[in-house]
Structure 1
Amino acid sequence: MYQACIFDLDGTLADTLDSIVYFGNSALAECGYPAIDREKYRYLVGKGSDLLMRGMLQEVSPKGYTEDDVILLRKTYENLYEQDPMYFVDQYDGMEEVLRDLKNRGIKLGVLSNKPHNITTRLITMMYSSRLFNVCYGQRFNVERKPSPDGALEIAKELGVEPKNCLYIGDSDIDMQTGIAAGMDTVGVLWGFRCRNELEKSRANYIVHEPKEILSIVLGEAAAD
């Protein structure tokens, strides 16, 4: 049985796509750019704020952009986001119940996101009881972002669990790459921002359709894909 579960945030623990679209397009408008289609954001998110800004600018400024453009857009985006990070954010059905069940069974829980650390911790605190998670980290300046395994390995160490006894759970190729690089088994979730094909190509050990399947994996009741 696995001893710990480490979760991605966007598209895994929280349905944040509409929130990111809203704040992204609001920031673009304030900086004089057109909006980006919602579906395009599915593939822009997940790599951290800096790459999100660069991806957005590539969409709306095909002739190129400057570093000053990146800095201004990111500052505008983060100022808007920090005012109300729960705007348009929802829990996924059944997720909180699964988290509580895992916790009650003695499974240690962590969060690792490429979203800025302050926003990550605020969202987790506002969406779930802070006591559900033993460790919660977003992107920090002194830790390389996913798919580097550094953050996942740091969490495993803090939890006192060997990587081989951890599950890394996320919705994208970045998450699967993170877990594999950390020596953890991976779970790809289909309720997030990406598709089964991406998760299969990224060699997810398990692919699940709903949160309760995570519990079956932890308890050893599910076969690997």
Structure 2
Amino acid sequence: MYLACIFDLDGTLADTLESIAYFSNRALEQCGYPVIPTADYKKIVGDGADMQVRRMLDRVAGKGKWAEKDFRRVRTVYGGLYGAEPTRLLKNYAGMPETIRRLKGAGIRTAVLSNKPHEWVTAIIETLFPQGSFDVCFGQKPDIPRKPAPDGALLIAEKLGVSPKECLYIGDTNTDMKTGSAAGMDTVGALWGFRTRAELEQNGAHYLAERPEQVAQIALSGKQWGENE
């Protein structure tokens, strides 16, 4: 059994796709650009707001066809819009609150690690989950390199009082699989999230889960869900 579970936020703990697309497209419109279909944001998000905006501009203006001042403008508008209402259009994934309760009930420590700005992360977690659901919650901070650097995951393990080998890292993108691996943690690829099974497998996922409930089974047994006892 693992002693701690560290979760990514977007596409793992919470379905934030509509929320991200809403604020992103409002920012693009206000800056004179066309909008991007909501589903396409699955491949745009995952490496922090700065990288997200750069990918948005690559999409709507073309790679190499926008300047740093264009990035700063869209990023500022996006940050202002999202920061003012970070809980708009949020959704819980079915079974996720119950999964967190089961883990906590079994004595497993729980934490959040996201590349989203820290203040947004805490607002989202406080909206979707009961108080005390997570022992540690980290969003992007100036003094912690963003994922896939392992620094945040390792700091969380230290705060939880567990070794990296006792942690299970759960996420839905290649960035998450790289983060967990770099920290020396086993990883679970969340197939309900934003990316594909192939991406997760190609980036070294130790386990794959089709539903949140299966994360608890993996954490408690150390076995792939469905695997014979």
TM-score, with structure 1 as normaliser: 0.97
Alpha-carbon distance in structure 2 between the residues aligned to 1:214 and 1:190: 11
Structure 2 residue 166 is the aligned partner of structure 1 residue 148: no
Structure 2 residue 83 is the aligned partner of structure 1 residue 51: no
Gaps of 5+ in 2: none
Kindly provide the amino acid, as one letter, of the partner of residue 175 in structure 2. I
Alpha-carbon distance in structure 2 between the residues aligned to 1:182 and 1:39: 30
Structure 2 residue 13 is the aligned partner of structure 1 residue 4: no
Structure 2 residue 17 is the aligned partner of structure 1 residue 17: yes
Alpha-carbon distance in structure 2 between the residues aligned to 1:129 and 1:157: 24
Greater shift after overlay, 82-91 or 119-128? 82-91
The CA RMSD over aligned residues, in Å, is 1.3
Superposition deviation, residue 221 in structure 1: 5.9
Kindly provide the amino acid, as one letter, of the partner of residue 45 in structure 1. V
Superposition deviation, residue 129 in structure 1: 1.8
Matching residue of 2:128? 127
Q: Which runs of 4+ in 1 moved over 3 A?
A: none
Offset from partner CA, 1:118-165 (integer Å, 9 cap, x none): 101110111112311010001111111000000000000000000000
Structure 2 residue 37 is the aligned partner of structure 1 residue 37: yes
Structure 2 residue 138 is the aligned partner of structure 1 residue 137: yes
Paired residues of 2:8 and 2:114 also in contact (CA < 8 A): yes
Alpha-carbon distance in structure 2 between the residues aligned to 1:219 and 1:19: 32
Paired residues of 2:11 and 2:172 also in contact (CA < 8 A): yes
Q: Map of 1:111-126 to 2, 5 A cutoff?
A: 111-126=112-127
Matching residue of 1:26? 26
Superposition deviation, residue 104 in structure 1: 1.2
Taking only the aligned residue pairs, the percentage that are identical comes to: 51
Superposition deviation, residue 60 in structure 1: 1.0
Q: SS of 1:219's equivalent?
A: helix
Superposition deviation, residue 101 in structure 1: 1.0
Superposition deviation, residue 223 in structure 1: 3.2
Q: SS of 1:86's equivalent?
A: coil
TM-score, with structure 2 as normaliser: 0.95
Superposition deviation, residue 218 in structure 1: 1.2
Q: Map of 1:1-225 to 2, 5 A cutoff?
A: 1-62=1-62, 64-220=65-221, 222-223=223-224
